[in-house]
Amino acid sequence: MSKTARDPEATQVPARPARPGRAAWLLGPALVAGVAYLDPGNVASNMTAGARFGYLLVWVVVLGNAMAWLIQYLSAKLGIVTGRSLAETLGDRIRNPWARRLYWLQAELVAMATDIAEVIGGAVALWLLFGVPLPIGGLATGAVSIGLLFVQQRRGARSFEFVIIGLLALIALGFTYGVFAAPPDAGGVVSGLVPRFEGTESVLLAASILGATIMPHAIYAHSALARDRFTAPGARPEDRAAGVTRVLRATRWDVTIALVIAGTVNLCILLLAAANLAGVPGTDSLEGAYAALKTGLGVGVATLFAVGLLASGLASTAVGAYAGAEIMQGLLRVRVPLLVRRLVTLVPAIVILAAGVDPTWALVLSQVVLSFGIPFALIPLVRLTARRDVLGAHRNRWWTTVAGAIAAVLLVALNALLLWLVLTGV
């Protein structure tokens, strides 16, 4: 048991006057992890849901975002208090080598599904903007992600955060502008807050939205990002000296800001499609949506949409690769060179692009795969953060644990319903 877990005050320093704006410098990790909630898989799932079902699944986006707040805060808290990521903690606690390897395998498959979504999204954006062939665009997206990861390795967590937050601003601009140019129907939005489905396909899209909203790799990544920023040997002295209680307080704001941004953008994507693309042939694909936006709302809206998609692919693939490396190192205690890992995980996405598979449908299916990986990350997270021997006095209150358990049950139930509908052909 770590000293921090036994004595939560061990990392704190005597109180001293805070410099103006000093609390703002504690923000950042959640904004980086929040990029995972705005990856191309989110775009494809929300655009497809809006184009096919109008405002029907608005409630899924809102519910997913509310659950995501709690989940991401618990992940960050684990990293801050223990100084270890979720993957590292599980790697220590899963004693059986084969059980640990099997757990790593499912987590790795989820990380690869994430890579597929993000690389395909970046490739589609490059094709829409510049006519770059999809396989070449996928390679270019992967190359940029390697550059972003080198920034994290060479310049530290703070520099990486600045770059990703800059891309986050582009994502927000690109995906929200269209809603202001063509506002949705207020009555339709309100009706979409009533939970319901319309057939198997709507359940599939709901699972896809939740898989894209509550992403397993974001759960693993946030604990590692918080660790690297506040407790790792390479962290800035000011951040390491901030104290656990103060950092946790700032983290609640960090997660709130990140999820407000992510939730708003995701909702805007669905509303844009519901208001302007519902019933229009071909608009349930990214390419068709781009063409319809260009025709209906003008070149400016369509171009900003494509720019947002490109920024989404570039930022999220870097965060996804970071999470994948952390999963392997934490669970298998194996550190693979960054370039080697990035090249290996690029292969499935490039194969899909070269084979001519519909990129949008591949993105949606990748998010369904992610939804099945959620319980394997979420259930251990809720259990670990409720334990005194792990977080000491910072363990969850009982109502936090209950809320986390309810979220886990809802997600598992939705996935079970999805599986039953698909297998029975209902």
Q: Where are the domains of the chain?
A: 21-424
Residue 27 has φ and ψ, to the nearest 5°, of -80, 155
Half-sphere exposure (Cβ direction) of 280: Cα atoms closer than 13 Å: 23
Q: How far is CA 152 from CA 81, 89, 145, 321, 366, in A?
A: 22, 22, 11, 12, 26
What is the per-residue pLDDT across 180-208, written as a single tens digit (0 to 9) for each?
888 999 999 999 999 998 888 888 888 77
Residue 20 contacts residue 150 (beta carbons within 8 Å):
no
Q: What is the DSSP letter of 16?
A: -
User: What is the Cα–Cα distance from 119 to 117, expressed in whole angstroms?
Assistant: 6
User: What is the Cα–Cα distance from 193 to 40, expressed in whole angstroms?
Assistant: 24
Spatial CB neighbours of 419, under 8 Å, sequence gap ≥ 6: none
What is the per-residue pLDDT across 36-63, written as a single tens digit (0 to 9) for each?
788 887 887 888 889 889 999 999 999 9
Q: Please tell me the predicted confidence (pLDDT) of residue 304.
A: 92
Low-confidence ranges of the chain (pLDDT < 70): 1-26, 211-212, 232-242, 284, 338-339, 367, 418-419, 421-423, 425-426
Structure-block tokens of residue 258: 């990140």
Residue 382 has φ and ψ, to the nearest 5°, of -65, -40
CATH architecture of 21-424: Up-down Bundle (1.20)
Q: Please tell me the predicted confidence (pLDDT) of residue 30.
A: 84
Q: Please tell me the predicted confidence (pLDDT) of residue 85.
A: 93
Sign of CA dihedral 142, 147, 148, 153: positive
Q: Please tell me the predicted confidence (pLDDT) of residue 193.
A: 94
Residue 109 CA, distance from chain mean position: 15
Q: Please tell me the predicted confidence (pLDDT) of residue 3.
A: 42
User: What is the Cα–Cα distance from 381 to 49, expressed in whole angstroms?
Assistant: 30
Q: Please tell me the predicted confidence (pLDDT) of residue 10.
A: 38
Q: Which of 52, 92, 369, 403 lies closest to 198 in space, CA to CA?
A: 52
Structure-block tokens of residue 20: 């103006």
Residue 354 CA, distance from chain mean position: 26
Q: Please tell me the predicted confidence (pLDDT) of residue 23.
A: 57
User: What is the Cα–Cα distance from 44 to 32, expressed in whole angstroms?
Assistant: 21
Query: What are the counts of helices (DSSP H) followed by strands (DSSP E) for the chain?
Result: 19, 0
Q: Please tell me the predicted confidence (pLDDT) of residue 158.
A: 75
Token pair 């894209």 is at which residue?
A: 212
